[in-house]
Structure formats: C-alpha cells, structure tokens
Structure 1
C-alpha cells in the first residue's frame, strides 16, 4: 500500500421619501466611511473630554463650597464661644451686644477672599482693620441692605447671596444679649466668585488642552482610519477592474485584522466565482466538442439510411440509440463535473468505512468477470459523503476492470494512516505510462485509447473532483517490480472526526502493502 501521502433580501424603499429622513442622516449619507468614522471618533472624544472636565469641575466646585461652609461653621462656633465667655474689658459676662460684636470681629482674622462685618440695628458697625482684611463687606451697600432685612430669629445657616458686586457665600449670626434691646448681626462671608475664578482658570486651561488633544486625535485618526480602510479601497478598486471575461484580479492582503479578513473572504469568493465561470465555460466547450461527434454520426446515418431496407433501418436505429446512450452518459458526466464546485456537491455525514468497503466490494461484483478481493478494511467512522465516495470508488474499480484481463484479480481496501483515510484499488493490468500519470485526471484525456473505443474521458476527472470536494486528492502509484504488474489508484482523504477502531487487514493482504 502506498504511504499516506443565502439568500439575499432586497430592501423595498418605495415608501421612503427624502422628507422623512432627518437632515443629519442625509448629511451623513453623503460622507465617506472615513469621514463618518473620523466624525464619530472626534465626537466621542469631545464628549469624553467634556464629560470628564464637567464632572471634575462639579466635584471641585462642591469641594470649594464644602471648604467655605466648614470655615463658616467654625466662625459661628468661635462667636458662640466669645458670647458665652467674659468681656475682657470688665472680666464679667457681656452686658451689651456691641461688646460681643466687637470681640467677635477682633478675634476673627479673615483669610483670602473672606470678609467679616458686624451690624448693629442694621448698620455696619465693626469690621477688621483695613490691612488685615481681604474683602470689605461694608463697601457693598446691596449686601448690607440684604443683611439688615434678616430677622433676628433667623437660623444661622450658610447661604449664597448675589449682588451687583459679586457672589457671596456667607453666614449671618443674630446676636442678642439679655438686658440689651439692640439687635446685632455677625456676618462672615467669602467672595465665592473669586474663589471659583481660580478654579475656572484651571479649567479654561483644561479646555484649551482638550481642544488641542481633539485636534491631535483627529489628525491621528484620519491616518489610522485611512490605513484601516485600505483593504476596502483595494476591494473597491479591484471590483472595478473585474469584468465578465477577467476574474483574475485579487486584493493584496497583508494585515490580520477584521478588514483584512474581509479582503481574504472576498478573494476566496472571487476564487469561487472564477472557478464557477471557468466551469461554465469548460462545460460549454466540452458540450460543444463532445456532442458534435455523435450528432454528426447520427445525422450522417439518418441521411444515408435506406427506408426500404429493414435491415439498414434496424442497424441505423441501433447505432442511433447507442450514440444517444453515449450522449446521455456524457451529459450526466458533464453535469456532475459542472456541479462539483458547488458547496452542496458533498454532503458529509458520519460513515462506517468498514461497511462502506464491503458495500463497494459487493457492488463491484457486477462490473465484470474478475476476482474481486478486499485486501484491507478500516473499521472506523469518519465524516464523508458516502454516495459520492461510492461513485468515485466504483469508477476506479470500473477503470481497473476495463484495463485488466478477465479472471484477473482486482483488489480494493481502506485504511487509516495518521490523519488520512486511504481508499485504494489495485489491478493487474499493464499500468499507466509515466507521461500520462498526471494527464489521466484531465477532462477528455483518453489513456490507452486503442484498447477502449468508447468513453469520453470523464471518469477519472469525476473521481478527482469528488476527492477535491472532500479536500483530498487522487493519485496513481505502481507497485514494485517484484510484486507484479498493475497499478494502484488511491483516494487520499482527510480522516475528519475519526472515531472508533483501527484499520485491520483481511483476506489476501498484498505483500507490497
């Protein structure tokens, strides 16, 4: 034994009108894919930068307000401490509101963007020394007027007040002392607009950097998207160059991304189309070439038949029927070859190779007076099309019968070698000349035509087509000279989904195997 070597759906747009499509969709429809992708990248990047900046600004603003409120709360606590203590001037509890306000303002040293003022009966009375304060609240008459309207029993809570001068975050604490009918108001305020201005300045810088980053992203994305879409441009250019008579153009593919895989898929589709068109052309050429001869023969005999001679009529009838039978076989073979490239030509299913071997052996008995021997049987199960393989195997057996002497031995066998399934036939005929070993699988090549007056030369090409459809091959080998005459035809197929068992020899295993 030689070694192992969909359907498409058409969108009905009849009911669609231009007016029903949003303007932005109509605009996008006129943009190239590159421009659409670039627009999407820039818009998403801008939304990301804007969202991140806005979120950070909101968080920083909240932290600024929280810091201000904490400082205001400490100011209130300090005033309560002063109010509960003693007047330093008398070393006795405070007896009037004015003293409490004075001491509260004196103890409070304003920070940056902070101001302190004390109101007595609605008039600004005390404020820190000019050289120590950052914000002069008493210079904002709008603010003083608003503070004067605060009720004496109002809760001391932080609030935001906006005047024509600025925006304040402040707390106003009513101050009263038993025995003093006057009402005081201790106010600590931060210039919130000034506090936020530095934060805004930071985010103005962030915005400028973000715009620069977006410009850089747009430039880089333009080149990157162009490179990614290069297979699409090549696909477009290639399809433009493809014509009905020339399907040889292919897309040059170098990458391994999805678009490169798309280009490879299109190349594979073009390969299939080229083979399909080539098969159609070959079919037309073959039909025209092979059917012309029997038609000419039948026409010639019908023109020359003697209608008055019964023997001549019968002979012409027999000849015409024989030629028509040959034409029928030729058409069947051509149809088989024409459909060999279709994806449904082979319908694989789990197949018991041992049983298949026995079935083919049983069918071969009717091919002729030969000694048919199963020399090896692979008791395994693999994925293959049992009908097509039977057709190919019987064709090899018929070929062996045609080129061997009556009562000679024709051996067949099946076995597994590694990941290959080998189905073979050996006869004891004269063999195949070396110069014809490859050509015998070509269409309409007739080997040893002097011994076979009939036959279109399509049997072995059909075998080759069936093997190729199984992702395999068929080849010829000659046994060693010491084994005897003959030739071995081998179907070399992939052992797909190999299951159960090993090949085992039976009956007469040929020595050279």
Structure 2
C-alpha cells in the first residue's frame, strides 16, 4: 500500500514543477517583452503626432507665404482646403472667434463640434502665439496645434482674426496599437498553453526512465534485484542515468549473489569442523586420559582451521575497500628482490635466484607482495623442489609469475581454481588452507584491472628463473604450474628504453628475519 505522504506529494512531481515553472517563466517573459514593445511603440506614436503637427504648421506657413493674398481669411481658406486631413485628424479655420472653415471632405475628428474647443483656441491664441495643446473631452482626447494667420504686420493690440487649427485624436491613434496588444496577449496565452501541453508530453517522455527508476526501486528488495529499467534508443542524460542505475543494480545483484554464495560456502566450510569436534566430544571417554588428549588436540586443530578461515575472510573483505590500495610508481626489480627475501622465510620454501627486470610500474607494492607470497605459500604446500619468481614486460603490460615443479593443475580445475574454497591436492604436506588464498590473489589482480591465471610450465632443465619459457619447450615428461598476475598498462614508458631505479625501500632480512608484518587482517597469506 502506498505511503499517505507519498500519495499527497505525488501530484507535485518534479515533472509538474519543471513544466509549471517553465510555463510561468515563458508567460512572464512574453508579457514583459510585449509590454516593453508596447511602451516603446506608444512613445513612438505620440512622437509621430508631434512631428505631424509641426509638419502641418510648416506646410501652412509655406502656403500663406507662397502667394499674395488679399486678406488673411482668403489665405486661411487656402490652407484649410489644401491640407488634406490624415486618418484620425481634423482641420478647422476660425474667423473672428467662430468656426468658419472646414475641409471639403469629412474629417475623422470634427474639431468644430468639440464642446468648448473653439473658445479655448481663441483664448490661447489671443497673444498671436502658436499653441500646441491637448484637449480632453468626454469622448475624445485631441492633441492640437493652433496658429494665427496674419498678413503683413502683427497688431498685438487686437486678437488675430483668423486662426488655423489641426488636431489628432490620440485615443484613435493609440487604439490601433491597443488592438495589436490585445492580439499579442491572446496569442501569448494560447502559445503558452500550447507550450505547457507540449512540455507535459515531452517531459513525460524524457522523465519516464526516472519514474521507472522509482517504480523499480519500490519493487526491488534484497530478495529480488532482477528487474531492470527499460532503456530505449535515446542517448540523453536521463537515459544514460537509467543505464547507470541498471549497472548499479547489476553490481548490487552480483554483490548479493556473492554474499549468498559466500554465506553458503562458509556455512559448508564451518559445518565440517563443527561436526567433527561435536562428534569427538560426544564420543570421548572422560575416564581415558589418552582419548581426552587426542580429542583435545583434534578440537584445537579444527578450531585453528576455523580461525584461519575467519582471518582469510576478513582479509578478503578488507581488499574490497577502495582505501586498501595505494597505487604508485615502483621499481619491479627491487620489488621482486623484496618478495624473494620475504618468501625465503616461509617454511619449506626453496627459491631459485631472481633475474632482475628493468622496469617501472604503477601498482600497490604491498598488495602485490601479499599476492606473490600467497602464490609462493601455495606452491610450497602443493609442490616439491625449487620455486621461481619472475616478471615479464610486454609493451606496457607487466606479468608477474610464480613457477613450481609440482604435478601441475588439472585442466578441468584451471578455470575454477581461483574461486573461493577450491582446493587442489597437496603432495606430502597436508592441506591446511582455508581455500581463500587464490581468491585473495584474484581480488588483488582485479583491483589492478588485471587477471590471475594458471598455466602448465616446464620443470627441471627447461625453466628459466626470472625469465620466459619458450612455447612448446617441454624437456621433461612431468609439468609444473605457473601462476601469473597480469597487470595491463602498468609499465611506465621511459625514453631510451631504460628504467632507472627509483626510491624503493628494500629491507634485507637478518638471520632471525620474518616476513614483513602489516595489519593483523593480512597475516593469513602463509596459512591459506
């Protein structure tokens, strides 16, 4: 059942918020842009009215000065007749304080019919001044120009007898702009609504992988991580996120499967010593000191084996920690020398001389040492005779190997020998390992982006200590095993083909030396 809080918040999804916010921003942006354009166009229209009034005055002045008129009324009549009124304009001739002359065609603005307009103009032009003013009536707002028409000298003692008047209906001029603004507003609203609908559809498609992620996450649990998010052919960021989440689910599923397998294997491994100890304790004769002592030794031996298993499990778990590795430039020859010095301290280890390899590589020397010592301990436990340590450089790939002279690894066991709790048959030394040693080697190789493998290798007479062995060269009927750590791209290229040594610390063991000890969780390499 869905969580009530989740049901309450579900309508306000990220998709709704994004589309809603973008829609509001689009609407606001459209109206801001339209408002700025409207204000600019309104200012231009008003300026154009002023320009047209001044042009009318110049035209009237030119007409009055063009011919010799008998009187000012005749000149005024010519001006009114010749200046054809424009749209939303009107022209008027005032004679002796009354509206006497109008154009021969109907004007959009009948100035003579505006209440009080003539009287206002007569009063404003009484001083023989050209007047530009605004008349605001009940139904119209008119921007007008009034200019006295005088022939000859001006008699300042009397008001002008003739006045030319032209005016523009400001409301009608702006009404055209207001109509365009209304059309723009309606269009902006419709396009914003369309943008909202398109945004919902597009965002639904683009964010569908995220919705599927949530649904898959709701259905996923530790019991089942098999479901994956469907990913189409799109290559956008959200689809790539879905691919990444699917990869994460793959890793989590693999980790869970690995944990289940580990628990199953550990349970199997622990069941045997527990069963053995319990069986002997149930059958021990407390009155027989010999039986008690033998049972005690057997129980201690089985408990030691269980302790080794726990130590190796802790070591393997620690290797999965990203902070457990520190890759740095390392002198391979010096590292092999250190590994050989430590390997000689392993009980029963007989090492051949190590041939130096001139190379620098990027790796974690401590972990590589741990892996190589584990392989040496494995060779000591399962083989007889000298053990060879060496390295090969092929381009930028580095291959470290441990070669023994034992019976070899059966072909059917080679693909699985590095898995947990896979054991070979020890020759003459018993097998007290936990079955995790080679699995730890594989973990170390994988953290270097490399691999751990085992192949057949020639034994006495055909081995080349510290070097490579020709393919197909089998001088003896028996074959040993060569365990390899291949680290691709680890070798540092050096100009001239030489690899001068770097500051690599090397400790030479004394008579009582023991393998270099680090963390207690990493002490199991000689026991696994």
**Between 223-232 and 246-255, the greater mean CA deviation after superposition:** 246-255
Aligned twin of 1:386: 365
Residues 175 and 89 of structure 1, relative CA distance in 2, 3 Å threshold: closer
Q: Secondary structure at the match of 1:220?
A: helix
- Separation of aligned partners in 2, 1:284 and 1:149: 110
Q: How does 1:14-29 map to 2 (within 5 A)?
A: none
Aligned twin of 2:89: 114
Q: Secondary structure at the match of 1:360?
A: helix
Q: Secondary structure at the match of 1:441?
A: coil
- Separation of aligned partners in 2, 1:313 and 1:365: 38
- Separation of aligned partners in 2, 1:48 and 1:301: 87
Aligned twin of 1:488: 482
CA deviations 1:457-479 (Å, max 9, x no partner) are 21111111222233322112224
Residues 369 and 357 of structure 1, relative CA distance in 2, 3 Å threshold: closer
Aligned twin of 2:15: 34
> 1:169: how far off?
3.1
- Separation of aligned partners in 1, 2:11 and 2:148: 68
How many residues were matched structurally? 469
Aligned twin of 1:262: 241
TM-score (norm 1): 0.79
Unaligned runs of 5+ in 1: 1-17, 19-26, 505-513
Aligned twin of 2:26: 45
- 2:125 and 2:159 in contact (8 A); partners too: no
TM-score (norm 2): 0.77
**Between 439-448 and 209-218, the greater mean CA deviation after superposition:** 209-218
- 2:383 and 2:426 in contact (8 A); partners too: no
1:290 lines up with 2:269 in the alignment: yes
Residues 336 and 130 of structure 1, relative CA distance in 2, 3 Å threshold: same
> 1:338: how far off?
3.7
- 2:451 and 2:487 in contact (8 A); partners too: yes
Aligned twin of 1:374: 354
Residues 32 and 429 of structure 1, relative CA distance in 2, 3 Å threshold: same
Equivalent in 102, 109, 112 of residue 135 of structure 1: 109
> 1:438: how far off?
0.6
Q: Secondary structure at the match of 2:144?
A: strand
Aligned twin of 1:6: none
> 1:332: how far off?
1.4
- 1:378 and 1:416 in contact (8 A); partners too: no
CA deviations 1:112-132 (Å, max 9, x no partner) are 22222244575434332235x
> 1:142: how far off?
5.1
CA deviations 1:442-465 (Å, max 9, x no partner) are 211112257643222211111112
> 1:440: how far off?
0.6
> 1:385: how far off?
3.0
- Separation of aligned partners in 2, 1:65 and 1:497: 80
1:197 lines up with 2:191 in the alignment: no
Q: How does 1:458-469 map to 2 (within 5 A)?
A: 458-469=436-447
Residues 228 and 104 of structure 1, relative CA distance in 2, 3 Å threshold: same
